[in-house]
Structure 1
């Protein structure tokens, strides 16, 4: 797989629209020690000059075709997205290869993007939600691959210059990449791959850079403190209760995704009904459980006022306890399955969504039919299967709180009396 680019074709009847997603298997989890934010900064400058064009010429090329081009860095990969007309594929798709293999890494553009990243990090520090999640992430992952926001850490970002980014750029192909095309596919797409992306470089590297992310959920969550406090002088309190759980594609992952739908999907979800409709204590609730190559977060979150924070925490703890102690009802199980089917359908409405999902699946080394396989398994899953999965993987959650100091002190005492505080403590 080293140095190779896989092609995934998804023909869809459109009026000449093509969506291309290039997934590079080098995300923020591959940031070297002391360079947290390196891959995000690299990703942001890939489109600011590459191959035979500088950043202005590339913008003219893309916008002259009425196309759209962007680059986003995630934990497990860098995603380059291009949407254009199929007749412009030969003009535009080579730019993806230039970004991957011939980035200019102009010092002026690096400085500009670094400043923008530092500003974004500063804004996050002022956001209670981001502060709470950063606190939870530190509890769950520590200094591990998922232990920092893809944007990075300010003290590391400030030190990044062209030499460091050049080293990261030289390793972009070490884990290979995936190009997914959805929509009106140009003729002979497979034969034209070399014309579009050029030759793959052969990388002979070994060691940590070549090692897939493997994080033991028990190691990640069981040997860390169970509580993190982020003091912020505000009338708002954000609570996040969760655990580093499973990689996408794990045999128990489908069960956790049904629990996610049961807890946090829509106004019929358990958390919405319990915290908003029955008790009126929270104005924002949900469950965060993204697809990851390693142990993914499974996190309940709620935002509330200081006067209702204790009841909100009590309700979150009770809701989590129910997952590991009891089966959900057959009615709730049926509803969760319907929501899961709907989520997959809604996530495949556009060519961009379809291409991104196919690139993501291949990027995580999962088969193209993974989602259909999950749908085929739904009817066999029982409430007891979800309960068993919760007991195996959600037994020691960790709590992160952000809010005013006096409220956090009260919530800390409340958490210390809970069963989970004793379980999760080192």
Structure 2
């Protein structure tokens, strides 16, 4: 998590000029990590790390595609794409020249629960580049021709996704799990609604940025006076926001269903899933260990059973993302269409196995080892560390949430994982995409399988 404290040369809140003070609150330093607050209320976390002279900054803003109003689905991602096309005194071309001319990376994207602005640069270039982050959210240009270009790119992406059987099955399952709710559409939006979005809608969205809370994390070799740099170009005014608080996110439907889509290919895509709970909920950690058991590595249960033992899978895995609301827990399998019956049967059997019997002690220890390994792999670079902390803090969870999970995971038993499965995985939905004959076979298996009658 945190490393050594920020450089001694950095000014404290009390000694900084009035317009750059940390909102009147003293900074808090614990275990090598320093917490401050920018003028306007944005929490600032500083993680000074030895090593290459690199700085990574992550601004996580609560909202995302789940907050898109009905009739404007796609608004958050469209705005995210336009934010880097000019801000403050810099046009889109000048902004690109400044960032790319320094060999840096600056991107912005919207996911379901938030919008993330990411900057990675040489520490020596922080003076020039760090001010861009808050300028992007407080004074974007929102030029009409750039909005049109970004909107067209997003529409083209949505069109291309319709040609991908895996994406078609995924989009279909998403609707089964969330209906027309906040999580029920691709973050890119809905084509008919996205096509109507313009500058007026993006201006409104810009005004709403930060209302749900935001957090900024800097990791690497930190500059002196980071607050001054971040607020530079804002006319001495802070960006108005506050720390994200923990509250329930979008719910899932939690009802069993079957959906299918014809596609003239030689493969069948199956997605079997349900909605569970948010990141940090009572049994989420148990499901995370099940995810490691089922889908991480070539020793995972689904890889061994479906690919190695039965030779059924072109691709197989488990999808379990972090969400503020009810997160999906999904098995996915791509198989030859002429083996539709066996593929459907075995995939459903694996889900039923979770409900009927706990994993072995040996499997539990392997899942815990994989969980520890995944956590370690996710903390190798400044960018990874900043990204992880921004996500956790953006969900209203403690800064040391990941460390707490590592400790708590060691005490979980196979029965704990089984109880979590029985509590949260009882009502799966099946989404199919493939040729007609294969879909009919898979539908018959689903209708006759004990999992559909449980």
| Runs of 5+ unmatched residues, structure 1 | 205-209
User: Does 2:400 match 1:363?
Assistant: no
User: Does 2:91 match 1:91?
Assistant: no
Distance 1:203 1:380, change over 3 A: closer
User: Does 2:406 match 1:375?
Assistant: yes
User: Does 2:38 match 1:5?
Assistant: no
Per-residue CA deviations over 1:268-320 (Å, capped at 9, x if unaligned) read 00000001110001111000001111111100000001011211111111111
Aligned mate of 2:249, from 214, 235, 252: 214
Q: CA RMSD in A?
A: 2.0
Aligned mate of 2:316, from 262, 285, 292: 285
User: Does 2:309 match 1:274?
Assistant: no
Question: How many pairs align?
Answer: 414
Deviation at 1:83, TM superposition (A): 0.7
Q: What aligned pairs does 1:6-405 form with structure 2 within 5 A after superposition?
A: 6-190=43-227, 192-195=229-232, 199-202=237-240, 212-217=247-252, 220-222=253-255, 226-405=257-436
- Give the whole-Å Cα distance in 2 for the aligned partners of 1:326 and 1:212: 33
Per-residue CA deviations over 1:215-263 (Å, capped at 9, x if unaligned) read 445xx212xx511111111111110001111101112111000000101
Deviation at 1:193, TM superposition (A): 4.3
Distance 1:397 1:200, change over 3 A: farther
Deviation at 1:419, TM superposition (A): 3.1
- Give the whole-Å Cα distance in 2 for the aligned partners of 1:391 and 1:281: 27
Per-residue CA deviations over 1:65-87 (Å, capped at 9, x if unaligned) read 22111112111111111111222
Deviation at 1:50, TM superposition (A): 1.0
Work out which structure has the larger RCO, using CA pairs closer than 8 Å and 6 or more positions apart in sequence. Answer: 1
In the alignment, what sits opposite 1:207?
none
Larger Rg: 2
Name whichever structure is richer in helix by fraction. 1
TM-score scaled by length of structure 1: 0.93
TM-score scaled by length of structure 2: 0.88
| Runs of 5+ unmatched residues, structure 2 | 1-36
Q: Once structures 1 and 2 are overlaid, which stretch shifts more, 183-192 or 283-292?
A: 183-192
- Give the whole-Å Cα distance in 1 for the aligned partners of 2:279 and 2:114: 14
Distance 1:268 1:87, change over 3 A: same
Deviation at 1:195, TM superposition (A): 3.4
In the alignment, what sits opposite 1:410?
441
Q: Once structures 1 and 2 are overlaid, which stretch shifts more, 359-368 or 412-421?
A: 412-421
Look up the SS of the partner of 2:333 in the other structure: strand
